[in-house]
Structure 1
Amino acid sequence: MPAQPESETCRTRPPWRNLGFATTACLRDPGRQVSRWSGVGGRGARCAYCSGDECCGAHVAVRASRRPLPAPATRRPRLRGRPRRSAEATFGGIDVLVNNAGHMLVGAVEEVEEGQARTQMDVNYFGALSATRAVLPGMRERRAGRILQVSSFGGLVAYPALGIYQATKWALEAMSDSLAAEVAAYGIHVTLIVPLMYPTGLAAASPQVPQDPAYAHARQSLYAGAEAGGFTPGDPAATAEGLLAIVDAPEPPLRVLFGTGGLEALRTEYAGRLAGLEQWDHVARLAQGKPSGS
């Protein structure tokens, strides 16, 4: 029987306020077996869960243990090598990376200060980018790995008063789409996790934006849309098994929704986009011009 965890030090919010807490708690569960992880590591999976300025590791052998790892970075990342070297030394590499760093600015584009916008991008996008780049050399060398990027429903659609936050998630989505195609040849799978509605306290715990009365209507539209969306709040604790199911899958999806009601909302959203493009297709053809030489 392996030794108990050397350290239980990994700051995190209470489980009912943090989607990732349930995952790290599940990894630490002494009863978790490793047979489910055979696809990413014959000796069990070496995992890193990154959120904010904390990065936790777990080596899921016969029983789980967890040790803290240095964070990649939540502001301008300059630590690409250090997390990787530490992870390689501590666990012999990382097989599974879960990127969940993030906060959410609520405010109209004009209301958000430039520094706030840059910090939002640094945390939500560059933090995930840094952690991802850090683990790729080892995963390529082993020709196996799983990268789970926690995105947002706001990475697929956009709502008023969330433009800056959602821009970071759209960036994460685009980068991860490209990355998946780039690393598939090395046996590395990238999956975008798209949570719908969970009571995590994300907005309340995030930096606040000074509100301009000129954009009161935008905030009202956001809140009204949330109420009319029909999404039922999910249980954050249930996301742990969802994440682990993705890791267990021999061929995990590029993108998966967490929660119900999202498919219907996306069908409506994408139908509207296509209808708009079709309505203005005559302008697309006008801008095409005539073939050269005709």
Structure 2
Amino acid sequence: MPSTRTWFITGASRGLGRAFTEAALSAGERVVAASRDVAPLGDLAEKYPDDLLRLSLDVADRRAVFETVERAVAFGGRGLDVVVNNAGGLLYGMVEEATEEQIRDHLDVNFFGAVWVAQAVLPHLRARGTGRLLQITSMGTGGGMASVGFYGAGKAALDSVSEALAMEVEQFGVKVTVVQMGGYSTGLFTAGTTATAPDPAYDELRARLAEMWGEDAGPDPSTAAPALMELAGLPDPPRRLILGDRSFDLVQEMDRARAEQYRAWETLSRLAPG
């Protein structure tokens, strides 16, 4: 890896994307920061006028993604080194409540948008024989959770595709890591949320979920940046990484619970050949 790398970060104007952008710039790297609204990055543009390029982008627009990536590749004159596929939002509501338009719009960003970015950057990374693609998913991709089922579905789909992608492009020197993020105070449940029209039939469940989750929004996104910076510099990075101290323990608990359920019903499973 060169001493000064060029990053391409989507969803860069707030939350984790903003934190990763700041961390890379403060480390002396160049960053192409893409977001629907790049105005919130104005302070960083003033502080790093030569090292930050802000590009407006809706990742759901495949043609715009490819055009934006071409501009990003030209920044600095030597191509991209690290791509952080981070753009996303939240569709909050029960499965029954969500409209077709809400579901499709959500997956257009959280799944298809990430795929378009990967497809756009990979020819450049492959041609150079190097590069990192960090696919930002979620610690919850191992199972669904009431009221955020479509968020989990989009991230789980990206998780699975990214595992396949890692196998496909490793031969070209391109390293892909699925970064399963824990819960951080990113504004996802406010500015990044689309909510369904609530059905009163689910009021009791909503109340239980609100009590279970509590008021803790999680740590500041900046606390995740050092680990991601270290990951981006590893010569042999993992294909999958849980990012978050508490989240690591929670994922282990969920995996153990799932394994116990499989064992409890092993006899029924083995009744069928195959």
Please tell me the residue identity of whatever aligns with 2:13. Answer: T
Please tell me the residue identity of whatever aligns with 2:194. Answer: P
Instruction: Tell me, in whole angstroms, the C-alpha distance in 1 between the residues paired with 2:182 and 2:228.
Output: 14
Name the structure 1 match of 2:249: 264
2:25 counterpart (12, 22, 28): 28
Q: Deviations over 1:34-60 (max 9, x none)?
A: xxxxxxxxxxx6654544566x9x9xx
Name the structure 2 match of 1:239: 224
Instruction: Tell me, in whole angstroms, the C-alpha distance in 2 between the residues paired with 1:245 and 1:157.
Output: 28
Name the structure 1 match of 2:8: none
Name the structure 2 match of 1:214: 201
Query: What is the CA distance between 1:264 and its match in structure 2?
Result: 2.4
Query: What is the CA distance between 1:105 and its match in structure 2?
Result: 1.3
Q: Does 1:248 align with 2:233?
A: yes
- Comparing 147-156 with 255-264, greater Cα deviation is found at 255-264
Query: What is the CA distance between 1:187 and its match in structure 2?
Result: 1.2
Q: Does 1:102 align with 2:88?
A: yes
Q: Deviations over 1:209-233 (max 9, x none)?
A: 11111112332343333249xx882
Contact 2:13 2:37 in 1 (8 A): no
Instruction: Tell me, in whole angstroms, the C-alpha distance in 1 between the residues paired with 2:208 and 2:179.
Output: 26
Q: Give the 3 Å change call, closer, same or farther, for CA 260–88 of structure 1 in structure 2.
A: closer
Query: What is the CA distance between 1:157 and its match in structure 2?
Result: 3.2
Contact 1:102 1:124 in 2 (8 A): yes
Instruction: Tell me, in whole angstroms, the C-alpha distance in 2 between the residues paired with 1:128 and 1:20.
Output: 14
Q: Give the 3 Å change call, closer, same or farther, for CA 240–46 of structure 1 in structure 2.
A: same
SS at match of 1:74: coil
1:173 counterpart (150, 159, 171): 159
Contact 1:105 1:120 in 2 (8 A): yes
Contact 2:137 2:178 in 1 (8 A): yes
Instruction: Tell me, in whole angstroms, the C-alpha distance in 2 between the residues paired with 1:130 and 1:268.
Output: 33
| Count of residue pairs brought into register by the alignment | 254
Q: Does 1:117 align with 2:103?
A: yes
Instruction: Tell me, in whole angstroms, the C-alpha distance in 2 between the residues paired with 1:11 and 1:171.
Output: 22
Instruction: Tell me, in whole angstroms, the C-alpha distance in 1 between the residues paired with 2:159 and 2:168.
Output: 14
Instruction: Tell me, in whole angstroms, the C-alpha distance in 1 between the residues paired with 2:61 and 2:69.
Output: 17
Query: What is the CA distance between 1:273 and its match in structure 2?
Result: 1.4
Name the structure 1 match of 2:7: none
Q: Deviations over 1:102-142 (max 9, x none)?
A: 11111110011111011110111111111111110111111
Contact 2:89 2:110 in 1 (8 A): yes
1:19 counterpart (16, 21, 27): 16
Query: What is the CA distance between 1:69 and its match in structure 2?
Result: 3.6
Please tell me the residue identity of whatever aligns with 1:220. Answer: A
What is the root-mean-square deviation in Å for CA atoms of aligned residues? 2.7
Greater CA radius of gyration, 1 or 2?
1
Alignment map for 1:110-189 (pairs within 5 Å): 110-189=96-175
Name the structure 2 match of 1:226: 213
Percent of paired sites with the same residue: 34
Instruction: Tell me, in whole angstroms, the C-alpha distance in 2 between the residues paired with 1:197 and 1:105.
Output: 16
Q: Give the 3 Å change call, closer, same or farther, for CA 181–64 of structure 1 in structure 2.
A: farther
Runs of 4+ more than 3 Å apart: 45-54, 78-81
Q: Does 1:90 align with 2:91?
A: no
Contact 1:139 1:188 in 2 (8 A): yes
